[in-house]
């Protein structure tokens, strides 16, 4: 199984050292593509945009996901809890293409969101909500929400209720109890959710391609464009960069996870 993954990646790695000249691939060893990637400011912007998009998406997913996970945890009726869990989970079953298309319709100039904003006089004329970074971020947050909610929910349920009662018996109000007891103990779930959201956002292709309108040029899109332009060395180097970035991110989050569990 490992071999099945390794063989294509080795081929991929090999192509990153070949030369691409005048629209043709030459099997000549060169480090040019790497050096261009490292020193050209165009690629710096691409990498910066990718990291920025992934960071914003992760933060927004946590901001919506944490209260939602907490609400799921606090609901006292098993039936409602079950239905809410199913509701949060079910978008996973719908294709990313369909969900991204839904956001295009929702956020378009004559779409429901702009209609509401105009209707209630928030805006004088429709805002451009899609085919830019905003649309991509909203749509990706929607796609990754379940992956953030369930790890947080699961670490909340592992919490010993006695700790909370002890804190309340000692006179702590709800905010202090949350801030000093509940939240720190749920950190492993937060870190695990953030790890999934961040790495998935780094590799996201469909949503930026559909909702970016050509303005959100992230690394996966750059890899795709280079591949279709048969510039395989550039595609391979871009892919290697993406792989290295996500490996570093996973390692960093694992480190953070150990730290958050030790508390």
Partner 1 sequence: MAVVNRSREIPPLRYVALGVFTVAASLFIIAPLAVVVLNSFNNVAYNVFPPEELSTRWYVNLFSQDVFYAAAGRSIVLAALSTGIALVIGIMAAYALVRYKLPAPDLIKASLLSPIVLPKIVLGVALFMFFVRIRMLDNYSSLLVTHVLVIAMVSASLANFDWTLQEAAMDLGAGPIRTFIRVILPQISLSVGISAVFAFITSFDQVETTIFMVRTGSNTLPVEMFLYLQKWQDPTIAALSTLLILFAIALVMLISLMLRGRRLPFLPQRPGEDTQ
Site for partner 1 in 38-77 (CB under 8 A): 64, 67-68, 70-71, 74-76
Shortest distance in whole angstroms from residue 42 CB to partner 1: 19
Report the alpha-carbon distance of residue 245 to residue 47 in Å, rounded: 9
If one asks whether residue 137 binds partner 1 (CB under 8 A), the answer comes out as no
Report the alpha-carbon distance of residue 263 to residue 257 in Å, rounded: 10
19, β-bridge pairs? 26
Closest CA to 238 of 21, 228, 210: 228
Shortest distance in whole angstroms from residue 32 CB to partner 1: 19
Instruction: State which H helix or E strand residue 233 sits in.
Output: helix 232-262
- Which residue, 70 or 260, has its beta carbon nearer to partner 1? 70
Shortest distance in whole angstroms from residue 158 CB to partner 1: 6
Report the alpha-carbon distance of residue 250 to residue 246 in Å, rounded: 6
| Residue 230, φ and ψ in degrees, nearest 5 | 45, 25
**Selected binder of partner 1 within 24, 29, 41, 98 (CB under 8 A):** 98
Residue 149 in contact with residue 72, Cβ under 8 Å? Answer: yes
**Selected binder of partner 1 within 26, 160, 229, 261 (CB under 8 A):** 160
Taking CB under 8 A as the rule, which mask of x and - marks residues 217-246 in contact with partner 1? Answer: ---x--xx--x----x--xx--x--xx--x
If one asks whether residue 144 binds partner 1 (CB under 8 A), the answer comes out as no
């Amino acid at each position: 199984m490992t071999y099945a993954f390794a063989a294509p990646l080795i081929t991929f790695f090999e192509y990153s050292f070949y030369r691409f000249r005048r629209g043709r691939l030459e099997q000549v060893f060169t480090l040019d593509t790497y050096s261009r990637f490292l020193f050209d400011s165009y690629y710096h912007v691409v990498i910066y945009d990718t990291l920025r998009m992934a960071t914003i998406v992760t933060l927004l997913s946590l901001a919506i996901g944490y209260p939602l996970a907490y609400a799921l945890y606090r609901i006292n009726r098993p039936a409602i809890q079950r239905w809410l869990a199913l509701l949060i989970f079910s978008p996973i079953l719908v294709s990313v293409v369909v969900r991204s298309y839904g956001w295009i319709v929702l956020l378009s100039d004559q779409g429901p969101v702009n209609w509401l904003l105009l209707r209630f006089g928030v805006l004088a004329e429709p805002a451009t909500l899609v085919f830019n970074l905003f649309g991509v971020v909203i749509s990706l947050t929607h796609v990754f929400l379940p992956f953030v909610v369930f790890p947080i929910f699961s670490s909340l349920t592992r919490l010993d209720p006695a700790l909370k009662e002890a804190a309340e018996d000692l006179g702590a109000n709800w905010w202090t109890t949350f801030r000093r007891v509940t939240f720190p103990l749920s950190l492993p779930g937060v870190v695990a959710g953030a790890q999934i959201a961040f790495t998935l956002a780094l590799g996201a292709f469909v949503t930026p391609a559909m909702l970016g309108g050509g303005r959100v040029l992230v690394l996966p899109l750059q890899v795709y464009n280079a591949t279709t332009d048969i510039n395989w060395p550039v595609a391979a180097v871009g892919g290697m960069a993406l792989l290295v970035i996500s490996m570093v991110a996973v390692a960093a989050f694992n480190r953070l996870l150990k730290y958050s569990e030790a508390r």
